[in-house]
Structure 1
Amino acid sequence: MKQDELGTEDLIRQRLRSLRVSRGLSLDALGARCHLTPSTISRIETGHRRLAFDQLVPLARALGTSIDALVEPAGDDDVVIRPEPQHAAGLTTWLLSPERALPGITVAKMRIGTDRPREPAERRVHPGREWFLVLSGTVRLELGDRVLLVRAGEAASFSTMVPHAVLAHEGTVEVLSIFDVDGERTHLHEG
């Protein structure tokens, strides 16, 4: 039976047993850690005893997890990301990191066209670091006084305290970017 076909209690029971087995703990060893009898743990895992919060807390602690992890839904909404494209002149962006991602980190796929308008003052400076992987095309990375061509399959990482611009070179380019908070604010929330 798939996890999404299980009821919440059955899912919690399955998670408890899976965690116990994956950690190599017998019923006796887990019981000693959480001060429950091995038969109580067995009945909880098999559904012959109802789940009680006062038992889940010590079980979760003994298994090195949290109550939240034991009871979280099994749906795919927290796993599969279905980004909606955001369009601006010459730039399309898909946010790939969920709102509950690592704090301060944003992952985005960006398609940069050669038709993207460019202002002379486009080179940005802000605290932090940026990283990108070129998925297709060639990026023209203007970094201080240097101009670097970064091709498909290559990545770049740099301090954003250096004036920088990421541009398409001789055709549309697609990149996978990781921004910190300052990079997201500067590059994804322009104007």
Structure 2
Amino acid sequence: MEQEVEVDVLIRQRIRGLRLARGWSLDALAARCYLSPSTLSRIETGHRRIALDQLVPIARALGTSIDQLVEPGEDEDVVIRPHPSSHPGMTTWLLSPERALRGTTVAKMRVTPEHRYDPDDLRVHPGREWFTVLSGTARLQLAERTIVVAEGEAAEFSTMVPHAITAVDGPVEILTIFDHDGERAHLHPDRPGGGERA
């Protein structure tokens, strides 16, 4: 029973927090989910039970899912302790847990000039990738285009374009976000279709 009460309180906090994060008044959210402002206020403050038929339109209006609203707030270790994975010219630290939400993986990569790519064997996979340069300078090869990305700059691109990331004049450190296909292609050389190239 106590756990049920804790989840109930958490749901109410999430509804209020998401509403405030969007800058919406009670009236604005109530209009979007077809509830009265007073009903919504009583839901947020715990003076009214939350019914499933109310939770569905509230979640939809807030741009989330019921699963995310009712997900228990587990007391888990939030610190990620990455272990380096090295290949010639490249070291990778995974900065997101394996159970990462929405199928994305965050990684820090250190690429040295020893890391080379074969122009005839650039990586291609569905999706998009994003990275920012933490230090050094990166060379992003997109098919025939060569783009230099300096420290503090970021790049986002379609991964259906043949691509590779290398270092310019010394090591480069990047923070990158991969979708599921990008993670498989770049971080798991032992899986079919995988490889260590950035």
- Quick check: TM above 0.5? yes
- The answer on 1:64 being equivalent to 2:59 is yes
2: CA distance, partners of 1:136 / 1:126: 26
Task: Note closer, same or farther for the CA distance 1:148–1:46 as it changes in structure 2 (3 Å cut).
Answer: closer
Q: What is the CA–CA distance in structure 2 between the aligned matches of 1:62 and 1:9, rounded to whole Å?
A: 17
- What CA deviation, in whole Å up to 9, does each residue of 1:60-102 have, x standing for no partner? 1353365534432334649x46152331133222334453422
Q: How far is the alpha carbon of 1:148 from its aligned partner?
A: 3.2
**Which of 75, 82, 99 is matched with 1:84 structurally?**
82
Shift of 1:162: 4.2
| Conservation of the 8 A alpha-carbon contact between 1:137 and 1:174 | yes
What percent identity do the matched residue pairs reach? 45
Distance 1:20 1:156 in 2: 31
RMSD: 4.1
> What's the CA shift string for 1:91-131, capped at 9, x where partnerless?
2223344534224x433221212344x36468423134433
Q: Which amino acid aligns with 2:101?
A: A
Q: State the distance in 1 between where 2:112 and 2:6 align.
A: 48
Q: Using structure 2 for the length normalisation, give the TM-score.
A: 0.60
1:1-191 matches, cutoff 5 A? 7-12=6-11, 14=13, 23-24=25-26, 42=42, 45-46=45-46, 56-64=51-59, 67-75=66-74, 77=76, 80=78, 82-89=80-87, 90-98=89-97, 99-103=99-103, 105-116=104-115, 118=116, 120=118, 123-128=121-126, 129-191=128-190
Which residue number corresponds to residue 3 of structure 1?
none
Secondary structure at 2:51 match in 1: helix
Larger-Rg structure: 1
The 2-side partners of 1:180 and 1:125 are apart by: 14
SS at match of 2:54: helix
Q: Which deviations, in whole Å up to 9, do the C-alpha atoms of 1:122-142 show, x marking residues without a partner?
A: 842313443322111011233
Q: Unpaired segments of 5 or more residues in structure 1?
A: 1-5
